[in-house]
């Protein structure tokens, strides 16, 4: 096999890491490619689930003795601690690799230090190769670990005139089946989905990850969270079914915010403590407004259907904006057509002060 450059190997490691999206929490996604002394790929691995082998260990096992004198190319600094598995830094030292190339340092105090351990063992360590690409691939986990609460993606569906439901309250289905399948794929990458009790009362959603063609459930389901200050979620609501775990987050349990609703920062802190690193906020308009007003949304994913309603609730209610100067400005990072609909991904711009 032909030799590959370290840069090329890192591109591949980032691809491998993405295979773990949605199944590794509370751990990060990590990919690793092992090159032998001649630069040939002799091992590949990714972290598939918490408690399972780390990417480096999978790649080292494939490489066997050919790892000696070679280069390990890894998307995140190898861990330096014993958790459910042993330190990857030690495994790399024992395998006698000559060099370790890392995209992003580990931000967690408990697991960091792998680079220093490797250097102390005489291994050359290079940091920062394809760092922004690797950072993007792991953005939810890295953001959550750096600041202590989960990464929040607000997803909504609306007509081209920004309506989230019709005047009579009906909102199923605004977008096409293709767009809804895309939402299920997005749900499969997060650890929790959140809705307000208003959505449960209006739509009685299941919020599971399903194959829309045959209705079959995915093996791994995100935690379903209803933000419900007074516990109004009906006992027979579909969200309480046995298909996935559900948390009815009441003000009594989480704490109340200034307006009497559930305290949203406390809710996110509680989710972080439960091991949740990425959440999908699925509405409705009032809860989304409260999250945005509090600056708690990291990414917006809007599905826009080529339809007009002319009446009915807006996709967003009361986001704390009363004048144009207070508008929440977004930077669009992706526009993709999905069936007849548009999916727009955007990041809220950081506000001054
Ligand atoms: N198109 C879409 O993407 C989409 C998505 C979802 C929903 N919808 C539509 O939205 C409509 C429901 O709208 P909605 O605004 O009533 O639903 P919602 O945002 O899901 O729920 C709002 C409720 O959440 C509770 N809540 C608890 N703590 C809160 C806090 N800190 N901030 C804000 N709310 C808090 C409040 O009820 P308590 O005071 O009782 O706790 C509040 O009335 C339905 O017609 C549904 O079909 C559309």
CA distances from 128 to 78, 108, 112, 117, 167 (A): 14, 17, 15, 18, 52
Would you say 78 and 99 are in contact if contact means Cβ atoms under 8 Å apart?
A: no
Q: What is the DSSP letter of 219?
A: S
Cα of 211 from ligand 1 centre, angstroms: 26
Which of 285, 309, 317, 320 to mutate to test ligand 1, by most ligand atoms within 8 A of the CB atom? 285
Q: What is the pLDDT along the chain (353 residues), one digit of tens a residue?
A: 689 999 999 999 999 999 999 889 889 999 999 999 999 999 999 999 988 999 999 999 999 999 999 999 999 999 988 777 779 999 999 999 999 999 999 998 877 789 999 999 999 999 999 999 999 999 999 999 999 999 999 999 999 999 998 999 887 789 999 999 999 999 999 999 999 999 999 999 999 998 878 889 988 899 999 999 999 999 999 999 999 999 999 999 999 998 899 999 999 999 999 999 999 999 899 999 999 999 999 999 999 999 999 999 999 999 999 999 999 999 999 999 999 999 999 999 976 54
Ligand 1, atom 43: closest residue by C-alpha: 198
- Distance, in Å, from the CA atom of 177 to the CA atom of 158, rounded to the nearest integer, reads 14
Would you say 27 and 47 are in contact if contact means Cβ atoms under 8 Å apart?
A: yes
Q: Which of 40, 44, 56, 282 is catalytic?
A: 56
Strand partners, 223: 192
pTM of the model: 0.92
Residue whose pair of structure tokens reads 């007849």 in the numeric block: 340
């Amino acid at each position: 096999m032909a030799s590959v450059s370290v840069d090329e190997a890192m591109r591949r490691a980032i691809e491998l890491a993405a295979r773990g999206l949605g199944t590794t929490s509370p751990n990060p996604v990590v990919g690793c490619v092992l090159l032998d002394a001649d630069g040939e790929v002799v091992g590949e691995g990714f972290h598939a689930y918490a408690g399972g082998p780390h990417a480096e260990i999978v790649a080292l096992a494939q490489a066997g003795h050919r790892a000696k004198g070679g280069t390990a190319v890894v998307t995140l600094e190898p861990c330096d601690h014993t958790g459910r598995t042993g330190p990857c830094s030690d495994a790399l030292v024992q395998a006698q690799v000559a060099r370790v190339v890392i995209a992003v340092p580990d931000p967690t105090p408990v697991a960091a230090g792998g680079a220093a351990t490797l250097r102390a063992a005489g291994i050359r360590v290079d940091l920062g190769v394809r760092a922004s690409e690797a950072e993007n691939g792991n953005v939810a986990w890295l953001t959550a670990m750096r600041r202590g609460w989960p990464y929040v993606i607000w997803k909504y569906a609306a007509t081209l005139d920004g309506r989230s439901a019709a005047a009579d309250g009906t909102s199923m289905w605004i977008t096409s089946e293709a767009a809804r399948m895309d939402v299920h794929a997005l749900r499969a990458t997060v650890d929790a989905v959140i809705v307000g009790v208003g959505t449960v009362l209006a739509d009685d959603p299941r919020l599971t990850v399903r194959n829309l063609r045959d209705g079959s459930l995915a093996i791994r389901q995100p935690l379903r969270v209803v933000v419900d200050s007074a516990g109004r979620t009906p006992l027979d609501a579909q969200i309480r079914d046995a298909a996935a775990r559900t948390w009815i987050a009441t003000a009594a349990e989480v704490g109340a915010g200034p307006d009497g609703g559930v305290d949203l920062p406390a809710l996110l802190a509680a989710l972080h403590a439960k091991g949740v690193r990425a959440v999908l906020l699925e509405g409705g308009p009032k809860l989304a407004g409260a999250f945005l007003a509090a600056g708690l949304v990291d990414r917006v994913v809007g599905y826009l259907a080529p339809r007009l309603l002319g009446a009915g609730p807006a996709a967003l209610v009361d986001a704390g904006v009363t004048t144009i100067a207070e508008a929440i400005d977004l930077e669009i990072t992706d526009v993709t057509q999905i069936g007849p609909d548009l999916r727009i991904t955007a990041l809220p711009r950081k506000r001054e002060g």
